[in-house]
Structure 1
């Protein structure tokens, strides 16, 4: 229990200390007009309040990741708490803040455009394809995951086909309509339900004195499970997630002032870390140890853990509300995943999005592909999602590092987590069956070599970019945003 409470306290302290430090390093300009005003189109560029933007940002980034990921990560034991806390403060929140603020400074550009500007034109095309793949995987995962939860909640009274169809209909509307019509109106309500469910489960863990394992040398992680690199890809949302780099530009187009960035981008990542801590603790404490947790995961997956933990902690009615809160999480990330994919494709091909027919030409093929992917096994999708997700985070961190280097600011706040995640992601793909199936030793050595090479390439490129005076905050070449 002490480890759990200390972790949450550190996350809160991290927001007020390291978050303030990161904001100071970046350098907020309160007098600079944001894209919400300079490119206002009443579709994607719409000024909205800090409270509304914060709730939307939280729901955008907090899919099933900060719940399903920590639940599966709980198998590694209390060491999962360390990654959630340190990852959220020093990597995830930095990643989200830099991505959001750099996007604000560049007309609300998405990651492919930012990568093209700061890492080279070739990277723009690579990251564009990569981001679309990630968003399709996210959108599909966030159809099947809430569908499973709803099916269980309704006790099989509605078929999976009907549930999936209903979710897709909502996604289509949220993707096509102006952001303030559905997302801006309903997310505050959804956000309240999400926070109530998370706080409810967390409070009951404390009140009932749940046997949450403490971090110690003898209980660092059970069965000597291999931590690196698997833990750092299993728990992504809640610690560090590249998916967030695809979502923050949505809110960079609705942010009213740069001084709101720390609350919206850094703060909501800290909030997601707290949610991750709660569900990791619940998974570790409620199922007769790691063997019991493993058995339930093997038979019912993370959704079964959510259902059983919510009912055990909050009773039938409270448990149902908690499950509804968890269902909302992936749905309110799935819709913005497809919305973000539409915006990225529109930016790439310079398609105006003012007319709904223009949005349809892009959105319909995305939904057709996603529907086909729902036929693929969830665990397989999650493996590819984990790798694609953290690879995107690596790219976003190097973009942030390049921006800060050119600006002659403290680039180490992005370089250090960028190097670490480059190594973890490279080791994973070298070792995993979906990758090159090499031994862990070979994979780790290869990861170190790749990370060293990328770091050298980065600094060489950064020195040239600084010497060439690449503009940091001007309009991106060949980027129109809106017609």
Structure 2
């Protein structure tokens, strides 16, 4: 299969979907250009702060993308490129985009609170507590995972002093943080014009990469980097959003745009042919295409983490509903789908390449960019540095989200504030400490369950959006169909994992218990939602 044709088909379908289905969803969700958003009505310039749509798109896109749309398709390519490509296209348009856009608008309608608050208003306090507990535990796992991933990427091995790629990535990433804070002050406090500041910021961003590449001075161990990163995410969670989190993610988004453009140009010039098979069978390496394809390819099609980003940080910064909500909520998901297809093309072309998904992606994209003069060795380093920056954007955003969820979780039934709910430093500290304990225990041991947990979170978010639409008397087929599909996927995956962990030869009781807890939790929330939908239907019938 010609990769250029595949990419053009993807982009063409996504453009049509944005104009047509995206507009349909905007009408269904009731987008109102005159309605004031929480960023204005609750503005505090710490969490609630209206942002330019281009800046917020960069922050949102960087946060939801991270390393997910690269890792998932590369791992799932064992099933063949055809099922992965079809899932990316269908999932992004009809499931992931619906999920992200709906989570954003529902949160805006509930004062920028998390999906947990949407559950409370539309399904009751018990539903909120269960959802927020599930969401917070998922975030703790995300923070632990990405802290360990970033620390491993940045670590310098004194026993192998010739390899300085980790030090290069770490040095560049720390320079990014300084640049972001200067950018935030200039734009928000000194009135610098966004276009000029962005242009200069991009140039300085590239200079930071060059400095990191030429002068990798931060040669720290993995443990030292873990401590540095924990301090950083504490600051990212508690400082005003305009000072660090938003500008860093916005500037880093240009790296991702750069990779997309570079890969696109390389594919146009080189138009390589995919070397992997279109379809390798329903069962590969003891894993079945259903449900594991739909769990493995998460961020490139649908991811529960996106609902937490949409409803925790983005909804507090969106300036106006029209056209910002559609651009950010739906458009960012489609752009992420393009990244996922590029990752699929990369692994499809370098089919025999070995290493981590990040290495396979870097090798493939660097090979594409070499077609217009960028040395392949330089391209590999550049893409690897960018990959580490993406992982860091998910890490800092996840920590702030964890703080929001824990604060809501610790509120009294009547909205009464408790010590944790009103203290952002304490809520952040608890979230980080829980993640650090998980790192020490060894998050890798429970990582296999994360894919199912993440997709189950997506199903639960769609459930919350469906309940919200139902309560407001709107038709719910656009959310209820993908919700049912995602529940079938995740419950099937959990059932297979429970069988594997509790009833096979190689038992793992910890993972088995976690899978059982997730299964029970999801069934309880489904029951709560069913009662709510039936009640809403009866109420609507009586009103007629």
Deviations 1:161-189 (A, max 9, x none): 23323322221111110101112322221
Structure 1 CA distance, aligned partners of 2:343 and 2:11?
Answer: 12
Once the two structures are overlaid, the 10-residue window that deviates more, 349-358 or 4-13, is 349-358
TM-score (ref. length: structure 1): 0.85
Give the superposition deviation at 1:110: 0.4
Residue 309 of structure 1 pairs with residue 373 of structure 2: no
Give the superposition deviation at 1:40: 1.2
Where structure 1 has 5 or more consecutive residues not aligned to the other structure, the ranges are 440-449, 470-483
Corresponding residue pairs, total = 447
Question: Which of 389, 405, 421 lines up with 1:328 in the alignment?
Answer: 389
What RMSD in Å do the two structures reach over aligned CA positions?
2.9
Q: Identify the residue that residue 450 of structure 2 maps to in structure 1.
A: 385
Give the superposition deviation at 1:261: 0.5
Question: Which of 197, 220, 230 lines up with 2:279 in the alignment?
Answer: 220
Change (3 A) 1:419 1:113: same
Q: Identify the residue that residue 99 of structure 2 maps to in structure 1.
A: 95
Residue 272 of structure 1 pairs with residue 283 of structure 2: no
Question: Which of 251, 256, 267 lines up with 1:205 in the alignment?
Answer: 267
Structure 1 CA distance, aligned partners of 2:124 and 2:319?
Answer: 30
Asked whether the equivalents of residues 112 and 315 of structure 2 are also in contact (C-alpha less than 8 Å), the reply is yes
Deviations 1:413-433 (A, max 9, x none): 101100101000000000025
Q: 1:281-430 residue pairs with structure 2 within 5 A?
A: 281-288=345-352, 296=354, 300-314=355-369, 315-350=376-411, 358-375=423-440, 379-430=444-495
Q: Identify the residue that residue 252 of structure 1 maps to in structure 2.
A: 315
Once the two structures are overlaid, the 10-residue window that deviates more, 117-126 or 36-45, is 117-126
Residue 432 of structure 1 aligns to a residue whose secondary structure is helix
Structure 2 CA distance, aligned partners of 1:138 and 1:283?
Answer: 25
Structure 1 CA distance, aligned partners of 2:47 and 2:419?
Answer: 9
Question: Which of 461, 466, 474 lines up with 2:532 in the alignment?
Answer: 461
Structure 2 CA distance, aligned partners of 1:275 and 1:39?
Answer: 35
Structure 2 CA distance, aligned partners of 1:377 and 1:196?
Answer: 35
Asked whether the equivalents of residues 47 and 254 of structure 1 are also in contact (C-alpha less than 8 Å), the reply is yes
Asked whether the equivalents of residues 407 and 422 of structure 2 are also in contact (C-alpha less than 8 Å), the reply is no
Asked whether the equivalents of residues 133 and 409 of structure 2 are also in contact (C-alpha less than 8 Å), the reply is no
Larger-gyration structure (1/2)? 2
Question: Which of 121, 130, 139 lines up with 1:135 in the alignment?
Answer: 139
Residue 60 of structure 1 pairs with residue 63 of structure 2: yes
Residue 162 of structure 1 pairs with residue 242 of structure 2: no
Give the superposition deviation at 1:11: 2.1
Change (3 A) 1:356 1:186: farther
Structure 2 CA distance, aligned partners of 1:248 and 1:149?
Answer: 27
Q: Identify the residue that residue 481 of structure 1 maps to in structure 2.
A: none
Deviations 1:379-423 (A, max 9, x none): 544322211111110111111112222333231110110010100
Q: Identify the residue that residue 20 of structure 2 maps to in structure 1.
A: 17
Give the superposition deviation at 1:118: 1.9
Asked whether the equivalents of residues 404 and 410 of structure 1 are also in contact (C-alpha less than 8 Å), the reply is yes
Residue 81 of structure 1 pairs with residue 143 of structure 2: no
Question: Which of 301, 306, 314 lines up with 1:239 in the alignment?
Answer: 301
Once the two structures are overlaid, the 10-residue window that deviates more, 260-269 or 402-411, is 402-411
Q: Identify the residue that residue 245 of structure 2 maps to in structure 1.
A: 183
Residue 228 of structure 1 aligns to a residue whose secondary structure is helix
Structure 2 CA distance, aligned partners of 1:422 and 1:339?
Answer: 27
Give the superposition deviation at 1:198: 3.0
Asked whether the equivalents of residues 118 and 403 of structure 1 are also in contact (C-alpha less than 8 Å), the reply is yes
Structure 2 CA distance, aligned partners of 1:229 and 1:191?
Answer: 31
Asked whether the equivalents of residues 421 and 427 of structure 2 are also in contact (C-alpha less than 8 Å), the reply is no
Asked whether the equivalents of residues 431 and 438 of structure 1 are also in contact (C-alpha less than 8 Å), the reply is no
Question: Which of 72, 75, 97 lines up with 1:69 in the alignment?
Answer: 72
Structure 1 CA distance, aligned partners of 2:29 and 2:401?
Answer: 25
TM-score (ref. length: structure 2): 0.76
Once the two structures are overlaid, the 10-residue window that deviates more, 14-23 or 231-240, is 14-23
